[in-house]
Amino acid sequence: MPVPWEALIPFGLMVTMFGVTGTLSNLTFRAQNQGKPPRYGLERWDEMMIARDYRLTGHNRGQTSDPVIRPTPESK
């Protein structure tokens, strides 16, 4: 059975667009998480640690060894 060569151009465009969309989506998620992959399947402990990290650094994925909590806009 011969290959319909005229169908390969639209197929290639579709594959390329899906690949570009997935790559840009991945880059967007990682940019919002300081270059780390997004978290899935969070437990209560993980949510508490995310809240603690946010209070300490101002970002959900940030970590610091400084025990002093800096003031947040909500606490003013």
> How do residues 2-13 score in pLDDT, each as one tens digit?
878 888 999 999
- Please give the residue range of the domain that contains residue 65: 18-34+41-75
pTM of the model: 0.60
- Asked if residue 59 lies in contact with residue 34, where contact means CB atoms within 8 angstroms, the answer is yes
Assess if residue 59 is contained within a domain: yes
Assess if residue 57 is contained within a domain: yes
pLDDT, residue 54, reads 86
pLDDT, residue 18, reads 98
SS (H, E, C) the chain: CCCCHHHHHHHHHHHHHHHHHHHHHHHHHHHHCCCCCCCCCCCHHHHHHHHHHHHHHCCCCCCCCCCCCCCCHHHC
pLDDT, residue 76, reads 53
Assess if residue 55 is contained within a domain: yes
Query: Once rounded to an integer, what is the mean pLDDT over residues 24-52?
Result: 90
**What's the structural domain count of the chain?**
1
Assess if residue 67 is contained within a domain: yes
Q: Is the pLDDT of residue 74 over 70?
A: no
Assess if residue 9 is contained within a domain: no
